[in-house]
């Protein structure tokens, strides 16, 4: 079973656990990789990875 939470759910839960958001990054496939791996073009429509940085208050 897969369960996907929304970005809103992740970010809004941080303060509930005593964290402050310090950064948010959605890395993208670079143009060189797109040329080499053409099937990666489909990955541009949604982020593959989400990096959330937070600091404990």
Q: Could you read off the pLDDT of 6-32 as tens digits, one per residue?
A: 889 999 999 999 999 999 998 877 778
pLDDT band at residue 40 under the 50/70/90 scheme: low
CA distances from 37 to 4, 17, 25 (A): 27, 40, 22
Domain extent listing, the chain: 7-56
Q: What angle do CA 7, 9, 15 make, to 5 degrees?
A: 115
Torsion of the alpha carbons at 26, 32, 35 and 37, rounded to the nearest 10:
-60
pLDDT at 54 over 90: yes
Quote the pTM value.
0.65
């Amino acid at each position: 079973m897969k369960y996907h939470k929304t970005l809103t759910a992740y970010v809004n839960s941080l303060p509930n656990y005593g964290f402050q958001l310090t950064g948010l990054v959605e890395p993208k496939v670079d143009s060189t990789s797109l040329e080499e791996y053409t099937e990666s073009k489909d990955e541009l429509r949604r982020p593959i990875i989400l990096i959330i940085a937070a600091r404990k208050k």
